[in-house]
Amino acid sequence: MMAIKKDPVDVVIVGFGWTGSLMAMELADSGLKIVALERGEARDTWPDFAYPRIADELTYGIRLKLFQNAAKETITIRHAQADTALPYRRFGSFLPGDGVGGAGVHWNGMLWRPLEADLKMRSTVIEKYGADFIPADMTVQDYPFTYREMEPFFDKFEKICGTAGQAGNVQGQLLEGGNPFEAERQNPYPTKALEQQYSGKLFSQASKALGYHPFPVPAANCSEPFTNPYGVQLGVCNYCGFCERFGCFNYSKASPQSCVLPALKQYTNFELRTESHVLRVNTDSTGTKATGVTYIDANGQEVEQPADLVVLSAFQLHNVRLLLLSKIGKPYDPISGEGVVGRNYAYQMNGGISLFFNEDHTFNPFAASGATGMFIDDFNAENFDHSGLGFVGGATISATITGGRPIQQMIAPKAAPKWGTGWKKAIKESYLHTMNVGSSGSVMPYKQCYLDLDPTYKDLHGQPLLRMTFDWQPNELKMTHFIGTKAEEIVRQINPPHYEMGFKTMEAHYDVRPYQSTHTTGGAVMGDNPKTSVVNKYMQSWDVPNLFVLGACCFPQNLAYNPTGIVGATALFAAHAIRTQYLANPGPLVQA
């Protein structure tokens, strides 16, 4: 069947979540003809997230209505190169989004800026501890830009989202109640911090007693009336308890639907085509210029969309797969260490402790946002001395409650019966009287952890699936053991009648079944050297200069924080570079 060829456009954007919508919005008033292609269905706050339909945990939380259908396309997974990779039949560990808004619809809303050391991790570690401190198989890299370069774009993205928080360092002045470890910011958060739950107050008191520095999590859950830089008015969070895995019916949790699309829809030079699954980026005979993309439309017809500029803004895994399918960039070879596409894949290392109280402590978990909680950063990144600890990286420690939903958010002691009358009794006794102290840890990249195309399994279009080779490494297992001891100190200070540890042992292997986070990174990393990176600091392909690749696939390693803050800011950074440099002089951008 012959492909239909569309009229050429100036820009084609592949994927329409946070990065795709931000790129489209930032370029829209330039007059360029822009087409965005989204593989999933059209979705908007109304009617798709309307209340009470959206508050349906079985449909959205368990049956994963907003997420990628693994029956149509999935990935294959193995722990090591010697293992046989098998298809991931039901997503559990992480949940790729699908449809307009992507993962920007179903996230919890924690919106972090990186620490300065996060962006210069390799050089910071070498400066402090020497090059031998880095394990031989660890491929940690610095980001190619500085925090100071990115600060205006972190600020802009926070304002687009109406972010709620308490700043810790404004123009060099440390502020009480904020994060004393954060890098200097020019402005406070756009809206005040969310209200704290009882669990956060207990955690805060215990942390302070131990000499730590608790602060409220920065939240893209708007806390007061706010109009963002695009002229879009955001609602005020009502703590409904339905954030992660759900769209926000209240226009409060930042998403493309609540923050960007109302303004973008006004531009007639922008077109969004949904149910458009991109198969590959097309290039000319030299392989150094993108000519557009080929996709399958809603009718199953193959369509060619010519374009002068191509932007990959799909989910991290999908961007890497598209590069491999399109034969753009040299695939990574773990044996020789050569090649770049698929290199530096990393996940995230989490742990937690469940605290069980008597009836004298009531937590009301149902009254929560997706980002209600208190954190400490005392053991994150390079905020503490690693000498003698034997690992690189660190973690946040926090007390957060994101909801009290009846299926996934019921907690009972491990000794309780798993069903029947005894289970009901344990749930009744625990529901209002339980809290959690958790950790979110960084994961470094390794030579043996990477992405490539599977030689056996294919998707419904006959294209190879992406293959993930990944397992926990000793560095991260040492890190989480250390963090577990610090979290337990805080729990002992809180002094519940009973608590249960949930940190990985040194013998642990990556388990794809339980949900951990959707914070997958790497595979198309940014850098200042084409031999160790896929894109430059502006997210521009080294090999195909009219191709830009956005999102967490560009991260050299995974932070303890969730990735959305850097994802949004770097998309704005790339859009600014396109507008101010590339459009006037198309070609490789000079790295300042």
The secondary structure of 474-506 as a DSSP string is HHHHHHHHHHHHHHHHHHHHH--SEEEEE---T
**Mean pLDDT per 10-residue section of the chain, whose length is 592 residues:** 89 98 97 97 95 95 94 96 96 94 95 97 97 97 97 98 98 96 98 96 98 98 97 96 95 97 97 98 97 97 98 98 98 97 97 96 94 97 96 98 92 94 95 97 98 97 97 98 98 98 96 94 97 98 98 98 97 98 94 72
| 59 within 8 A of 245, measured Cβ to Cβ | no
Alpha carbons 556 and 559: distance in angstroms, whole number: 10
Predicted pLDDT of residue 264: 98
Catalytic residue (choose from 79, 277, 519, 576)? 519
Alpha carbons 361 and 25: distance in angstroms, whole number: 47
Number of other CB atoms surrounding residue 75 within 10 Å: 24
For 194, what's the count of Cα atoms within 13 Å in the CB-facing half-sphere? 34
Phi, psi (deg, nearest 5) at residue 381? 50, -120
Closest to 526 in 3D by CA, of 4, 25, 150, 44: 150
Contacts of 458 (CB under 8 A, 6+ apart): 464, 465
Query: What's the whole-model pTM score?
Result: 0.97
Residue 590 lies in a domain: no
| 469 within 8 A of 79, measured Cβ to Cβ | yes
Alpha carbons 244 and 248: distance in angstroms, whole number: 9
Residue 32 lies in a domain: yes
Q: For residue 80, what are the CA distances in angstroms to 321, 447, 468, 475, 510?
A: 19, 11, 9, 17, 11
Q: Which residue is listed with tokens 């009617």? A: 47
Q: Number of folded domains in the chain?
A: 1
Residue 452 lies in a domain: yes
Alpha carbons 221 and 103: distance in angstroms, whole number: 15
Q: For residue 215, what are the CA distances in angstroms to 203, 377, 495, 567, 571?
A: 10, 9, 21, 23, 27
Closest to 528 in 3D by CA, of 444, 589, 451: 589
Alpha carbons 562 and 582: distance in angstroms, whole number: 30
Residue 315 lies in a domain: yes
Q: Tell me, what CATH number does 531's domain have?
A: 3.50.50.60
| 54 within 8 A of 105, measured Cβ to Cβ | no
Output the CA angle 207-211-213, nearest 5 degrees: 60
* Structure tokens that stand for 414 in this block: 């491990």
Residue 49 lies in a domain: no
Phi, psi (deg, nearest 5) at residue 541? -60, 135
Query: Looking at this protein, which amino acid is placed at residue 527?
Result: G
Say whether 498 is catalytic.
no
Contacts of 11 (CB under 8 A, 6+ apart): 27, 32, 33, 34, 35, 307, 308, 309, 310, 311
Helix (H) or strand (E) holding 569: helix 564-577
Residue 589 lies in a domain: no
Alpha carbons 400 and 194: distance in angstroms, whole number: 12
Alpha carbons 246 and 103: distance in angstroms, whole number: 10
Residue 591 lies in a domain: no
Predicted pLDDT of residue 67: 95
Residue 90 lies in a domain: yes
Alpha carbons 510 and 79: distance in angstroms, whole number: 7
Phi, psi (deg, nearest 5) at residue 104? -70, -10
Domain that holds residue 473: 4-44+54-132+139-584
